[in-house]
Amino acid sequence: MGDLNTAMIEKYRNRFLKEVEANVEEGEWVKMCMQCGVCSGSCPLGKFWEHPPQEIFMMIRAGKRDEVLSSESVWMCTSCYNCIVRCPRELPITHIMHGLAHYAKRLGLVPKNQPTAKFAQMFWDNLMVKGRVNELKLGLNLYFMNGIGDGVKVALKNQKIGLGMLKSKRMNPLEAVGGHAVKDLKGFHAVLKKAQELEDKRLADHGA
Amino acid sequence: MAKRQYSFYPGCSSQKGASSSNYLISVQTMCEELEVQLNEIPDWNCCAASIGYAGGGELPRLTLSARNLALSEQHNPGQDVVATCAACWLSTREAQERLHEDQSLLAEANTALAEAGLKLTKEMPIKHMAEVLIEDIGYAELGAKVKRPLAGIKIAGYVGCQTNRPFGIAGESFENPKYLDQLVETLGGDSIPDYEKKVQCCGGALAFSEPEKSQEMVKGIIEAAYDHGADLIVTPCPVCQMNVEVYQDQINQTYGTQFKMPVVYYSTLMAVAYGRSAKDAALNGQVIPAKKLEAIAGK
């Protein structure tokens, strides 16, 4: 991934907006932002963003590549779509944030231990195994994502929630072995492998 | 013979032993009463929800939904697709829009699907179950089936985010949708039309990765329901339901509150109002029991 990052820096030099337009999902919309700030004021986690969306858009145009791509901010999106429906220019802000976060991950620029980046990757890896999410394994991986010691603490803190879910039959310990899956797993994996190849090819072509 | 049928995308969390398995049970009961036949898309896969974006790039994510839509077209041709989960509905509908707008992405998705002998051709409407109820069936027919009105129960309609934005229910506003309130009234309950947290975000998937930030928002959602004298909260979204119901003990510990607010699905309310048993309404799936509904279902 470091190589891809270097290739992109070489290729785009100081033209970060161009890089975003070419490589980030829905990135071609960034230039449409008119800096009104409605997105920043509408975000439920607004107060936790070091750089709220409006600022991120201006920073992209100002060429602040490292500051944007290694920012915790792009991982603060809850996907509530408040910004999307309120943006007077109708920018797909939610998707741009997801796109920036994904691009940062592809380039290996995510801040260490960013919890949402870790959880989001776990979710994807989990569903790719059997085509459907295994909630039990996802939950256990989440508890232990910062190591065993921390994991035991988190697990104990959430013990009561686990028991409640178990009692109401909304959690099944048997998911630890086997679990729900698509039947045509071979076909599923072949389809997703091809999609990933095509996606990688496009990004590699842009970096070349 | 069912009056209506749909190609059904139940989603991961609705499966047996999963976090919204109670939702599916109550939806099945509700659909029996409304003579709606749900034809499950055979071998459907996860949609990647709204948190799959770190690992999943644009094309792999869209391809997940494309596979479901291709299977739907193959096995349930000509049927509208319906999802009960807000994230399933949103991801699938967004994927369809994106693939419609970008022919090169559609071509690539079909190249990937060809690996399993699938192809995406037709575009059928993709609906949330709430759309089926409100737009396809309508309040009059929904009300006509009520056998045990939810009399004297005050219910806060928590619409949340993804059932409401960016698509939502026809004719409703993003800032103050009223269909859940109207549904509560249709079932004989007391709605709270000015419940100010009805479209407040619960944190979504960030409830797992950023629990403190999420629980601060959930606290507001529950507090406002209490302020209005609500007996319970109703929601159309599995993530909303879980986030607002199951962390109440932790919120009580953090904030010194004494929350014990049941959070149910619209389908739970409907199964009870339509005279079905507590079991059929999946009331045993509540982590915080909905006692007032149990009392009606036990009559």
Q: Determine the longest span between alpha carbons in chain A, in angstroms.
A: 57
> Are the CB atoms for B130 and B83 separated by under 8 Å?
no
Please count the residue pairs, one from chain A and one from chain B, whose beta carbons lie less than 8 angstroms apart.
Answer: 206
Domain boundaries, chain B: 4-129, 147-297
Q: How would residue A14 be classed by pLDDT, with cut points 50, 70 and 90?
A: confident
CB contact under 8 A, A78 and B205: yes
Q: How far apart are the first and last CA of chain A?
A: 14
Instruction: Identify which of B162, B126, B131 has the alpha carbon closest to the alpha carbon of residue B49.
Output: B162
Of the candidate CATH numbers 2.40.170.20, 3.40.50.11810, 3.40.1710.10, 3.40.47.10, the domain formed by B147-297 belongs to 3.40.50.11810
- What is the Cα–Cα distance from A54 to A31, expressed in whole angstroms? 11
Q: What is the pLDDT of residue A3?
A: 87
Q: What is the pLDDT of residue A199?
A: 96
pTM beyond 0.90, yes or no: yes
ipTM: 0.96
SS3 B199: coil
Topology of domain A2-110 in CATH is Fumarate Reductase Iron-sulfur Protein; Chain B, domain 2 (1.10.1060)
Instruction: Identify which of B111, B21, B5 has the alpha carbon closest to the alpha carbon of residue B67.
Output: B111
DSSP 8-state secondary structure symbol assigned to residue B55: T
Q: Each residue of A159-182: pLDDT tens digit?
A: 999 999 999 999 999 898 888 999
CB contact under 8 A, A79 and B56: no
Residues facing residue B233 across a β-bridge: B156, B263
Q: What is the pLDDT of residue B234?
A: 98
Q: What is the pLDDT of residue B1?
A: 64
Q: What is the pLDDT of residue A206?
A: 85
φ/ψ of residue B186, rounded to 5: -60, -30
Q: Each residue of A15-43: pLDDT tens digit?
A: 999 999 999 999 999 999 999 999 999 99
Q: What is the pLDDT of residue A2?
A: 66
Q: Pick from B162, B200, B217: which is nearest to A81 by CB?
A: B162
Rg (CA), chain A: 20
Task: For residue B6, give the H/E element and its range.
Answer: strand B4-9
Residue B109 to chain A, least CA–CA distance (Å): 7
Q: What is the pLDDT of residue B2?
A: 83
> Are the CB atoms for B233 and B244 separated by under 8 Å?
yes
Q: Each residue of B226-282: pLDDT tens digit?
A: 999 999 999 999 999 999 999 999 999 999 999 999 999 999 999 999 999 999 999
- What is the Cα–Cα distance from A67 to A20, expressed in whole angstroms? 14
Q: Each residue of A40-91: pLDDT tens digit?
A: 999 999 999 999 999 999 999 999 999 999 999 999 999 999 999 999 999 9
Domain boundaries, chain A: 2-110, 115-197
| Disruptive mutation site among B15, B106, B163, B206 for chain A (greatest number of A CBs within 10 Å) | B206
CB contact under 8 A, A123 and B49: yes
Cis peptide before A44 (omega within 30 of 0): no
CB contact under 8 A, B213 and A118: no
Q: Each residue of A110-155: pLDDT tens digit?
A: 999 999 999 999 999 999 999 999 999 999 999 999 888 889 889 8
Residue keyed to tokens 């590549």: A65
Of the candidate CATH numbers 1.10.3720.10, 1.10.10.10, 3.40.50.300, 1.20.1050.140, the domain formed by B4-129 belongs to 1.20.1050.140
Query: Is the per-residue pLDDT at A208 higher than 80?
Result: no
**Consecutive 10-residue averages of pLDDT for chain B (299 residues):** 92 96 98 98 97 96 98 97 98 97 96 98 95 97 98 98 95 96 98 98 96 98 98 98 97 98 98 98 98 94
Taking contacts as CB-CB distances below 8 angstroms, the residues of chain A near B17 are 169-172, 174-175
